[in-house]
Amino acid sequence: MADKIGDRSATKTRAHADNFWVVSLRALRRDAAAMIGLAGLLLIILVTLLSPLLAPHDPLYQNYRARYEPPGGATYPFGTDDLGRDVLSRVLWGGRESLGVAALAIAIAMGGGVVVGLISGYYGGWRDVLIQRVTEVWLAFPGIIFLIVLVSILGTGLEKVMIAVGLTLIPGYGRLVRGAVLAARAQDYVLAARALGARDARIMFHHILPNILPPVIVFATLGLGSAILIVGGLSFIGLGVNPPAPEWGAMLLYARDKWRQAPWLSFYPGAAIFLTVLCVNLLGDGLRDALDPKLR
Amino acid sequence: MLLFILRRAFFAIPVLIGVSLLTFIMFQFAPGDPAQLILGNFATPEGIAEQRAIMGLDDPLWLRYLRFLAGAVRGDLGKSYFGRQPVMDEILARLPSTFELALSALTLAVVFGVSIGIFSATTRSRLADRGVMLLALLGISLPNYFIGIQLNYIFGVRLGWVSAIGGVGDFKHLILPATTLAVAIGATLARLTRSNVLEVIHADYVRTARAKGLEERLVLWRHIMRNALINIVTVIGLNFGVLLGGTVFIESVFARPGLGLFTLSAIGKRDYAQVQGIVLVFAASFVFANLIVDLLYGFLDPRIRYS
Amino acid sequence: MYKKTLLTLGILLLITLLSLSPLAAQEEGGTMTFAISSFDTLDIHVSGDGNAMGIAWLLGATLVARDNEVNYHPWLATSWETSEDGMLWTFHLRDDVTFHDGRSLTAEDFVWSITRLLAPETASPQSGRLRSISHAVAVDDTTLEVHMNDPFPLLLEHLSNTGVVQPYHPEFYEEAGDQFGREFVGVGPYVLEEVATGESVTLVRNPDYNWGPPFVMNQGPYHIERLEFVIIPEPSTVLAGLETGEIDYAAVQASDVAYLRTLDHLTVLEGSFQGMLPALHFNMSKAPFDDIRVRQALNHALDRQLLVDVILEGHGRPQYGPISSTIGGYWEGVEEIGYHYDPERARELLAEAGFADGLELEFKCLTPTFNTLCEVIQQLFGDVGITANIVLVDASVVFGDALAGNYDVMTLGYGASESDILYRWFHTSRMGALNPSRAADSELDRILDNTRKDIANRDMWVNEAQRHLVEQAYVAPIYRSVNFVAVNNRVQGYLENPANLATWAAFFNDATIASE
């Protein structure tokens, strides 16, 4: 009985949230810049997913007779690198690594942040104090430094970079979620659900979470941009992927001292990072404007 | 006010202890045996055992942490594995250069970021607003290591306006790295200032002020800026870590002998005595910076002091 | 070999021409700027940095000096003798040598320095190679006795090929305390002016220096007034500095050589690396690498000439044996019996060993040095059906992994200027300390023991060791690499051997620098 009524109130809150999304998306559609960002990002993701079909060459195949081919040729439109590998194919495949790692890192940070933030905000008390103290210590380590050290201890490799980036970002999400939960805790639908005896976990994940998700999503979208830059940066200082995997930051690293002979080696991966982050930021800006009721 | 400062400073102490504990624990997982690293490739197993004993590596973990903490409190971060130099001295020697870079970049970012933001919010030209904001968006979308290499090539090698080999010294050595580091934070500030100013412009008290017939420029400065300032301080506080982290890339590209470059070389060599010290100092200065931001808050907005 | 001789001849010719021109020969003063990638301390007993050791050598001098043809000459010692059993060396020192603070050098200073170098508390990474020294005794001010633990035929090599065994100033050491290493007083041709931490090291000429080794023309004070070593870890920045003339001297990468040679104001010198680096090591304590056919197959899969062409841009040459052709004791037979590129044979051998369908292995690769090399090798292995998964490891964990046997195939190697490295690297007794291929080979041990015991037939035993090592294929040497150094043409009259940057000391005696 209690559960049923709880369910109904959950449906209602979810309807409320759904409505919120619909309105927001409608607002987003009117925002030309955000739509360009969205379209660009979708295109980049699509191209990345289809890279096995689109890439004209094996990104790993070294053709020693075609080293340092300048771009513009029919066989190698983006030229070749120091080992005669096709730069176009490497940039296409590289997106899988760069985007994938950044996205998964954000997912880890978001998942971790949501759990930590919900517990901290919902229960309060000693759990909150403990989590907040740990968060403070965690945040006291400047991001990149912490990351570099973490990766150097864990060892290089994409999974490790992913975990390290995710771990360093958790506290930011945790704080955001906690703040939103504190605000939501006093709201009618939560009080109602609690009065009806719904279990804590159910209230947290069923009632509160859908309502606090919008700011988290915005934060995550904007965070994706910086995560791509960070993953690239780690590869750039030699703490990223293991060769020969093509990854944009790692490609920049290897192109770094070949700038004079082969400027295209840094241009294409650099442009790929830049365009992706630009699209993400355009979309993120639009999402923030659309989802932030204060600005609407 | 003094009480407020003291209370805040007091709260930083448990954080600092937590920081030292986390740092210490983190490095217990670092690969490689310090004794083996120190003695190098020609070491014998007996030599390594001997060295472990000298370094107290076989002592229990808590004892080693207490020893580390006791040293750190006295400003003794041990000696580097390679070269056996006091880590604290090595850090102190490089600190001014990094602070110089970070502070110059911060100044550039605040000056340009805020003025661009205000300009963008108050200009009547929609095109100019859009153009400037697009530039700001480019600024936060470009990797700073990429910007750095390009700037160094163009201004250092091609045009020869500044030293191509970086280093420290006069203004000529500082301008490119500081600019590169300032781009992202300046762009963030420009975007934030713009939206803050826009928000405040439509607020009641500004409308009242304007209705009272105050001169437009005065309205802007007196009311809008004071409110926007709090947000700027927040951004600086939040970005202090980005700033310090950014020095790693910038100092590496421009060969500036600061803490960032030191971090990379220490990690490259796996000199964990150095890395551990650097992390601790970075974290401590970060805590310190946040303390200052906190105090600035209290200064700018008296309400915060009592909450 | 001939390339280097040619280079030396060319430089000698240049020096002769220069000495005929009164203008260049008289030029004194000027500042020469070097780019170095790293620096730690001038206390070379505990330094782990080749550049620091090179700079420290300019501040000091060693008992004996070695020329490019590996002959030993008097330097701080005017003469020396060794006892019949090789357990005692006696050095007679010059009596006119002074430290930078004016105090005279005595044999006591050497005793103090050697004692500190070998003390366990010092934990010197350099002490390993001098383990054979038991202790030193000063008989009088100019007579130094070095007592050995075992007869060590290559003592002079180790006394001369780095500046590690240079005299420290004991009183100055005590006085400097923690600052020692950032402050230094020695007996060398240059005096330390300043160590700007993380930034640069500046030296000025020692006007009193008058004890150069006999094989250089100028035994007196050097000509160049000031040497500045700027720390620049980033190769592209070094390149920029060479281009603009802000840097006079720097080690450069093979991929930049072609470009640098197009610049009129620079000369690019090349010198051979000595030793065996890079080489693949196979883990003998792990199947299937204990199977000689697998090791031989991996050897045959390497197209060494291709690797030279791609990685070294055609400089350098394939290497088949465990020591390079530039080292005394090199045996030419390895060219004949070495494993030449033969993918067919590699596949056959793999099939015989039971891997007709391919073999998957973990390929540990020293980063960042060998990243590109490993990528090419990965493809070469792929061509014969071997899937090599690259794992990057950096210099500090490489040895830990190797000694613990925590690898399948790994890039490793050594720099060495003499053949005793074979004993130190491959002897079974060295397992746990070195011997990274973890071969326990009693026949090899017998041969290596004889290289140290049977001094009369040493050459024969060293040849035998090379033959045995190639046959057993514990390692796959790859190429004899080439080091490049770019020098601004305003520096003239230097004798340069880029194979060993630490030889700055002996090769800048006669150099001059044109004013800007």
Residue C24: pLDDT over 70 = no
Which residues fall within 8 angstroms of residue A280, CB to CB, at 6 or more apart? A37, A41, A221, A222, A224, A225, A228
Residue C388 has a pLDDT of 94
pLDDT, one tens digit per residue, over B120-176 is 888 878 888 888 888 888 888 888 888 887 887 788 767 777 776 666 566 777 888
Residue B216: pLDDT over 70 = no
A266 touches chain B (CB under 8 A): yes
Q: Which amino acid is at C468?
A: H
Residues of chain B found within 8 Å of residue C230, distances taken between Cβ atoms: 165, 167
DSSP conformation letters of C292-329: HHHHHHHHHT--HHHHHHHHSTT-SEE--SSS-TTSTT
Flag if C125 and B265 touch (Cβ within 8 Å).
no
CB–CB of C133/C149 below 8 Å?
Answer: yes
ipTM > 0.90, yes or no = no
Flag if B146 and A277 touch (Cβ within 8 Å).
no
Residues of chain C found within 8 Å of residue A156, distances taken between Cβ atoms: 367, 392
pLDDT, one tens digit per residue, over B165-177 is 666 566 777 888 9
Interface test with B, best of A144, A163, A222, A276 (most B CBs within 10 A): A144
Q: Label residue A292 by pLDDT band (50, 70, 90).
A: low
CB–CB of C405/C281 below 8 Å?
Answer: no
By C-alpha distance, which of C4, C24, C7, C22 is closest to C493? C24
Average pLDDT value for residue range C7-24? 39
Q: Which amino acid is at B242?
A: V
d(CA C67, CA C511): 17
Q: How far is A277 from chain C (nearest CA, A)?
A: 26
C103: left (phi over 0), alpha (psi -120 to 50) or beta: beta
Interface test with C, best of A57, A234, A260, A261 (most C CBs within 10 A): A260
Residues of chain B found within 8 Å of residue C396, distances taken between Cβ atoms: 32, 37, 269-270
Average pLDDT value for residue range C382-405? 83
d(CA C442, CA B27): 41
B258 touches chain C (CB under 8 A): yes
Quote helix, strand, coil % in chain B, to nearest 5. Answer: 80, 0, 20
Residue B127 has a pLDDT of 87
Q: Label residue A80 by pLDDT band (50, 70, 90).
A: very high
List of E strands, C172-237 = 190-196, 200-205, 226-231
For C368, the token pair is 């960042």
Residue C409: pLDDT over 60 = yes
d(CA C225, CA C203): 8
For C442, the token pair is 């009693």
Q: Label residue C7 by pLDDT band (50, 70, 90).
A: very low
A146 touches chain B (CB under 8 A): yes
Q: How many residues make up chain A in this entry?
A: 296
d(CA C197, CA C182): 8
Angle between helices A87-123 and A32-49 (to 10 degrees): 120
Residue A296 has a pLDDT of 37
Q: Which chains touch B (3+ CB pairs under 8 A)?
A: A, C
DSSP conformation letters of B47-78: HHHHHHHHHTTTS-HHHHHHHHHHHHHTT---
d(CA A285, CA A295): 12
Residue A1 has a pLDDT of 38
Average pLDDT value for residue range B281-295? 82
Residue C178 has a pLDDT of 85
d(CA C444, CA B216): 92
Between residues C92 and B243, the one the model is more confident about: C92
> Which chain C residue has its CA at the smallest distance from B42's CA?
C128
CB–CB of A174/B289 below 8 Å?
Answer: no
pLDDT, one tens digit per residue, over A171-217 is 888 988 888 888 887 777 778 887 888 888 888 888 888 888 877 88
Q: Name the percent of chain B lying above pLDDT 90.
A: 7
By C-alpha distance, which of C216, C221, C220, C193 is closest to C206? C221
CB–CB of C324/A97 below 8 Å?
Answer: no
Eight-state DSSP code of residue C104: B
Average pLDDT value for residue range A6-28? 61
d(CA C234, CA B252): 7
Mean pLDDT of chain C: 85
Q: Which chains touch A (3+ CB pairs under 8 A)?
A: B, C
Q: Quick one: B95-300 is in which CATH superfamily?
A: MetI-like (1.10.3720.10)
What is the residue extent of each domain of chain B? 2-87, 95-300
3-state secondary structure of B86: strand
Domains by residue range for chain C, with CATH:
31-232+490-514 (3.40.190.10), 275-481 (3.10.105.10)
CB–CB of B15/B287 below 8 Å?
Answer: yes
Secondary structure element (H or E) that encloses residue C139, with its range: strand C133-140
Strands C479-480 and C317-318: antiparallel
d(CA C65, CA C216): 11
Domains by residue range for chain A, with CATH:
2-64+77-295 (1.10.3720.10)
Which residues fall within 8 angstroms of residue B261, CB to CB, at 6 or more apart? B94, B248, B251, B252, B255, C198, C233
C418-430 burial, b if ≥16 CB within 10 A, otherwise e? bbbbbbbbbbeeb
What's the pTM?
A: 0.81
How many interface pairs between A and B have CB atoms less than 8 angstroms apart? Answer: 116
Flag if A257 and C256 touch (Cβ within 8 Å).
yes
Please count the helices (runs of H) and the strands (runs of E) in chain A: 12, 0
A90-122 burial, b if ≥16 CB within 10 A, otherwise e? bbbbbbbbbbbbbbbbbebbbebbbbbbbbbbb
Q: Which amino acid is at A192?
A: A
How far is CA B251 from its chain centroid? Answer: 13
d(CA C455, CA C86): 11
pLDDT, one tens digit per residue, over C347-363 is 999 999 999 999 999 99
Which residues fall within 8 angstroms of residue B167, CB to CB, at 6 or more apart? B173, B255, B256, B257, C199, C200, C230
CB–CB of B251/B265 below 8 Å?
Answer: no
Average pLDDT value for residue range A63-75? 90
Between residues C406 and C103, the one the model is more confident about: C103
Residue C297 has a pLDDT of 96
Residue C412: pLDDT over 80 = yes
Q: First and final CA of chain A: distance in angstroms?
A: 39
Residues of chain C found within 8 Å of residue B41, distances taken between Cβ atoms: 125, 128, 399, 434
Residue A203 has a pLDDT of 83
Q: Which chains touch C (3+ CB pairs under 8 A)?
A: A, B
Q: Name the percent of chain A lying above pLDDT 90.
A: 26
Between residues B196 and C488, the one the model is more confident about: C488
* Surface of C (62-121) touching A: CB under 8 A: none
Cα A294 to Cα A189, A288, A291, B199: the distances in Å are 22, 10, 9, 10
Q: How far is C444 from chain B (nearest CA, A)?
A: 20
Between residues C202 and B49, the one the model is more confident about: C202
Q: Which sign, positive or negative, has the C-alpha torsion C91, C96, C98, C102?
A: positive
Which residues fall within 8 angstroms of residue A82, CB to CB, at 6 or more apart? A67, A68, A254, A258, A262, A265, C255, C310, C372
Q: Which amino acid is at C76?
A: L
